[in-house]
Amino acid sequence: MLSPAVLALGATALSASGCVWYLPAAADLCAGADRPTSRRLAAAACLTAWATIALSAPLLLAAASWTTLGAVTAFGTAAALLLATLARARRGHEEHATRRAWAALRLRPPARRRSPWSRPTRAFLCWFLPGYAVAAGAVAVALVGVMAGR
């Protein structure tokens, strides 16, 4: 049976290891208008997700109720998903405006960058998503065990 302190330690280690994602996201937000709006929204989504994980550690250590922990996690996840969705929609608008600008100039646009759904990305997601689901299931089983022990 996992104690809340062990779960808090895991959340702390996970949030510390996420610095490869949230530090560049923080830099994008600090750059302000130098970055496109879609990129800043995506950075805000990234920071929201990692802040939600980081916030769970003190809540676990403070012996907050599981309802409170679940509500904070659900709210943070929903906010991050909303920001990510807005970022994707805004990126589509920005790409459309860029295509219109190139068409107005009657010039050929520069070569497109690689698709975000390139082969390495798909391979990563094929391994990450099932692993994430298994980890979430293990945490759920551990939480049920902790709650049953009370």
Where residue 1 falls among pLDDT bands split at 50, 70, 90? low
Tell me the pTM. 0.69
Question: Counting Cβ atoms within 10 Å, is residue 119 exposed (0-12), middle (13-18) or buried (19+)?
Answer: exposed
Q: Where are the alpha helices (DSSP H) in 3-118?
A: 4-17, 19-31, 37-61, 66-105
Residue 79 confidence (pLDDT):
93
pLDDT digits (tens, 9 = 90+) for 84-142: 999 999 999 998 998 888 888 887 777 776 666 667 667 777 777 787 778 777 777 87
Q: Is residue 41 within 8 Å of 83, Cβ to Cβ?
A: yes
Diameter of the chain measured on Cα atoms: 71
Q: Are 43 and 90 in contact (CB under 8 A)?
A: no
Query: DSSP assignment, residue 1?
Result: -
| Beta carbons of 89 and 41 less than 8 angstroms apart | no
In the block, tokens 């104690």 appear at: 3
pLDDT in tens, 29-82: 999 889 999 999 999 999 999 899 888 889 888 888 888 888 888 999 999 999
State the Cα–Cα distance between residues 120 and 36, nearest whole angstrom: 25
